Amino acid sequence: MWTVPDLCDAYEGGVTVLEPVFRSFGGNPRFSGTAVTVKCFEDNSQVKALAEQPGLGRVMVVDGGGSLRASLLGDQVARAACVNGWSGIVIYGCVRDVDALAQLALGIQALAAYPRRTIKRGFGDVDVPVTFAGATLYPGDFIAADLNGILVAPEPLALPEA
């Protein structure tokens, strides 16, 4: 089974590692897939809309501006993402309902837990470059994450099974 440190060693120089500011909240601590990016601030309208679409094993990468004042993902939206086949969600912001998130077969990494929901105003952009945690991520980048960190590559990486 692959780990992010092993991938860093195997693809040295060809990958970027996000700054270590994230915590794992999902039931799958190891996840990977192609990035679908969302840029939003204290409004999870686009996160919810994407979670309700087929995930096809992709990873939702959410730039919430690092806000610690509203949760961009809770149990209901995460459950929809899980049911619809998303591999994982990386959030530069907060989540809530952490006990329920830990029970889902979904990778979730975020900055922190915060109990307040967002106000849905329909704001946010999908499939745009996002910059946080020391890196710029683009739609279609490859994401691999585990309890060691989050790796970004411009193209899919061969992930060893054993």
**pLDDT tens-digit series, residues 63-72:** 999 999 999 9
Give residue-wise pLDDT tens across range 117-151. 998 899 999 999 999 999 999 999 999 999 999 99
Global pTM reads 0.97
Burial of 91 (0-12, 13-18, 19+ CB in 10 A): buried
Residues 156 and 100: their CA atoms lie apart, in Å, by 30
Domains along the sequence of the chain with CATH: 4-153 (3.50.30.40)
162 pLDDT above the threshold of 70: no
